[in-house]
A and B are shown apart, each in its own frame.
Chain A
Amino acid sequence: MVAQRNPLYSAISLIGVFISLACLYVTLAAPFIAAVQVIVYAGAIMVLVVFVIMLLNVEIAERPMRLRALVPIAVMLAAVLFAEAVFMIYFVQASPATPTRNISDVGLTRSIGEGLFTTYLLPFEITSILLLMAIVGAMTLARTGGLLSSRAAVVPGDQVFAKEMLNRQKYIDDLTPVTTHSTEEARGLLGVEDQDRSPKA
């Protein structure tokens, strides 16, 4: 997955990794987590990522590899890390008494639901607040320009606007409201493009 140059291939490999992990969860007797893994990760999150990749559609620019001098040091450190891993696996295998597994109801949807709504109720609610914050944050980021949308309606006649709502470059450091007396003036202040809203005859 890391070796791919194109982010789209990388994303598809990542989906493969997620589905393999879901299979591992099934072998670990956690069917609920496996289902959530497929639905949330391989379904929702990766669809979002692939959507963004396709939306932005950036060409891959080949760039020269920097820090070439550090490659031997990196190989040496990787060898040390690998030796440590082998050492640890050897001693774990040599140590006695890994716990044996029995049949139990841990990991079934029922037990997870009971746990979520009894012992872990507070983290569950905090998670819901986090999701709400994510929704608000995503909306704020997706919005462009000022607080008003570019298609905000301007009604004819006198109207009063708060300075914060208007084009920001003009009115920095001044918060008194502005009164306009015509639709054209209000359009200019709001930065709304001129569009024909008159009813069709």
Chain B
Amino acid sequence: MTPQLSWYLALSAVLFTIGVVGVMVKRNVISMFMCIELMLNAVNLTFVAFSSFFRDLSGQLFVFIVMTVAAAEAAVGLGIIIAIFRNRESLDVDDASSLRL
């Protein structure tokens, strides 16, 4: 039995849902950040699955660009996390409730 396209899509949906639940449930900023990465990866899996099953290159190029964006987001996001931690001595998102740093 060869793998179907829908299997990959279902796995991707499950991963994305886990990421969404994590962002909503977690209070630690770093955990929320990792859940966002998980969601990005779920979408990447969809892209690669479609690209492979329809033999179209664009999906994989888009995955490449998504990965670059994720790397940039990681650099800036972790910088923001460190700046917030310096100011508030806490990683809890409930403590960072005002826009003023």
Are A and B physically bound partners? Answer: yes
B82 near A49: Cβ-Cβ < 8 Å: no
Question: Which residue in chain A gives the minimum CB-CB distance to B90?
Answer: A58
Partner of B75 from the list A104, A116, A138 (CB cut-off 8 Å) is A138
B81 near A2: Cβ-Cβ < 8 Å: no
Interface 1/0 per residue, B1-44 and A, CB below 8 Å: 01111101011010101100110011110110111011001001
In the complex, chain B residues 26-85 whose Cβ is within 8 Å of any chain A Cβ: 26-28, 30-31, 33-35, 37-38, 41, 44-45, 48-49, 51-58, 60-61, 63-65, 67-76, 78-83, 85
Besides the known contacts A32-B60, A116-B61, 18 further A-B residue pairs in the complex with CB atoms under 8 A apart: A11-B34, A17-B15, A24-B48, A28-B52, A33-B60, A40-B67, A40-B70, A41-B37, A41-B67, A44-B71, A44-B74, A45-B37, A58-B91, A93-B6, A98-B53, A106-B52, A120-B61, A134-B73
* Chain B facing A: main interface SS: helix
Instruction: List residues of chain B with CB under 8 Å of any chain A CB.
Output: 2-6, 8, 10-11, 13, 15, 17-18, 21-22, 25-28, 30-31, 33-35, 37-38, 41, 44-45, 48-49, 51-58, 60-61, 63-65, 67-76, 78-83, 85-86, 90-92
Interface 1/0 per residue, A28-64 and B, CB below 8 Å: 1110110011001100110011001101101001010
The answer for the CA separation of A61 and B27 in the assembled complex, in Å, is 10
Measured between beta carbons, the chain B residues less than 8 angstroms from A144 are: 86
CB distance from A94 to the nearest CB of B (A): 11
B44 near A21: Cβ-Cβ < 8 Å: yes
Instruction: List residues of chain A with CB under 8 Å of any chain B CB.
Output: 1-2, 7, 10-11, 14, 17-18, 21, 24-25, 27-30, 32-33, 36-37, 40-41, 44-45, 48-49, 52-53, 55-56, 58, 61, 63, 81, 85, 89, 92-93, 98-99, 101-102, 104, 106-107, 111-112, 115-116, 120, 123-124, 127, 130-131, 133-135, 137-138, 141-142, 144
CB distance from B26 to the nearest CB of A (A): 7
The answer for the CA separation of A116 and B57 in the assembled complex, in Å, is 10
Partner of A141 from the list B2, B8, B79, B91 (CB cut-off 8 Å) is B79
A27 near B3: Cβ-Cβ < 8 Å: yes
Measured between beta carbons, the chain A residues less than 8 angstroms from B37 are: 14, 41, 45
Measured between beta carbons, the chain A residues less than 8 angstroms from B25 are: 2
Question: Which residue in chain B gives the minimum CB-CB distance to A52?
Answer: B78
Measured between beta carbons, the chain B residues less than 8 angstroms from A44 are: 71, 74
Measured between beta carbons, the chain A residues less than 8 angstroms from B26 are: 2
Measured between beta carbons, the chain B residues less than 8 angstroms from A10 are: 31, 34
Partner of B45 from the list A14, A21, A93, A141 (CB cut-off 8 Å) is A21
Measured between beta carbons, the chain A residues less than 8 angstroms from B18 are: 1-2
CB distance from A181 to the nearest CB of B (A): 35
B76 near A138: Cβ-Cβ < 8 Å: yes
Measured between beta carbons, the chain B residues less than 8 angstroms from A123 are: 61, 65
